[in-house]
């Protein structure tokens, strides 16, 4: 049930949802990232996923990648730019990702938006920003088709880790009809941006994908950052 009292049962609750996170935090040296990773781990545990958690972030070091593999997560070998069409319900965990990455997740699943659920920064806030680079074209086309349920932080130390955080999904069938069928994919030059989180700097292009889908074909001219 959303915070406004409306009720909606996401298909993932019936069909074994998979979890995708395109913001794998560098948990080795940042308290903010450790909060995010702890949340991700608990989320995976609570969802009781049959498929392994798939992770991507170009900023993870060799020790962090080794630890993720040790706890059962799987590293995605290449930068998908968020372009991952799914055939089963998939939850994308994306704290503090760039707007273009959200745009590509939505765009790659325009054929059936009811299959995706996004836990991350509020999409409507991204649309309030200037869009000189055109990196929110898909989001603009389906504006108003998603439901936003804000997730307030429980204590002050979480502010930077989960500020502006929400669970968002697409319950309306007409969202598919409104989504454009052909638009350019936003590439690394627009996705990879530097964000300031508290007193630390991190790359906003990374991510984790919890899904057993085969990796989607990468967009043209995309460098493999893994």
Give yes or no for a contact between 74 and 145, defined as CB atoms under 8 angstroms apart: no
CA dihedral (104, 40, 112, 180) in degrees, to 10, reads -20
Closest alpha carbon to 103 in 56, 146, 74, 73: 146
What count of Cα atoms within 13 Å lies in the side-chain half-sphere of residue 137?
Answer: 15
Q: What predicted TM-score, i.e. pTM, was given to this entire model?
A: 0.71
Tell me: the pLDDT tens digits for 79-130?
A: 888 888 988 888 898 888 888 889 999 999 988 898 899 999 999 988 887 6
Rounded CA separation 193/189 (Å): 8
Tell me whether residue 6 is in a domain: no
Is the pLDDT reported for residue 144 higher than 90? no
Domain membership of residue 187 (yes or no) is yes
Partners of 201 in the β-ladder: 196
Q: Is 10 among the domain residues?
A: no
- 14: helix, strand or coil: coil
Whole-number Å distance between alpha carbons of 82 and 115: 15
The residue range of the domain holding 203 is 15-209
10 Å Cβ neighbour count for 165?
A: 20
Whether 224 maps to a domain, the answer reads: no
Per residue in 169-222, pLDDT (tens digit) is 998 665 556 555 544 444 433 333 322 222 222 233 334 444 333 333 333 322
Q: Is there a domain that residue 24 lies in?
A: yes
Whole-angstrom distance, CA of residue 67 vs CA of residue 88 = 27
Q: Rounded to 5 degrees, what are φ and ψ at 13?
A: -70, -15
In a domain, 150, yes or no: yes
How many structural domains compose the chain? Answer: 1
Residue 151 domain flag: yes
Q: Has residue 81 been placed in a domain? A: yes
Task: Work out the average pLDDT over 33-39.
Answer: 84
């Amino acid at each position: 049930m959303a915070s406004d009292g409306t009720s909606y049962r996401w298909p993932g609750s019936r069909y074994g949802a998979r979890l995708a996170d395109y913001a794998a935090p560098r948990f080795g040296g940042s308290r903010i990232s450790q909060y995010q990773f702890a949340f991700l781990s608990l989320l995976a545990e609570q969802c009781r996923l049959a498929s392994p958690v798939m992770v991507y972030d170009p900023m993870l070091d060799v020790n962090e990648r080794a630890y993720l593999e040790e706890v059962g997560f799987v590293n995605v070998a290449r930068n998908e730019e968020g372009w991952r069409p799914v055939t089963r319900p998939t939850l994308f965990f994306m704290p503090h990702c760039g707007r273009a990455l959200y745009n590509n997740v939505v765009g790659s699943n325009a054929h059936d938006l009811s299959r995706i659920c996004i836990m991350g920064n509020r999409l409507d806030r991204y649309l309030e920003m200037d869009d000189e680079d055109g990196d929110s074209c898909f989001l603009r086309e389906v504006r108003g088709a998603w439901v936003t349920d804000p997730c307030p932080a429980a204590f002050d130390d979480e502010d930077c880790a989960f500020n502006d955080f929400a669970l968002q999904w697409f319950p309306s069938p007409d969202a598919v009809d409104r989504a454009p069928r052909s638009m350019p994919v936003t590439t690394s030059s627009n996705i990879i941006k530097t964000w300031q989180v508290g007193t630390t700097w991190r790359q906003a292009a990374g991510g984790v994908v919890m899904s057993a889908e085969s990796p989607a074909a990468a967009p043209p001219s995309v460098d493999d950052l893994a």
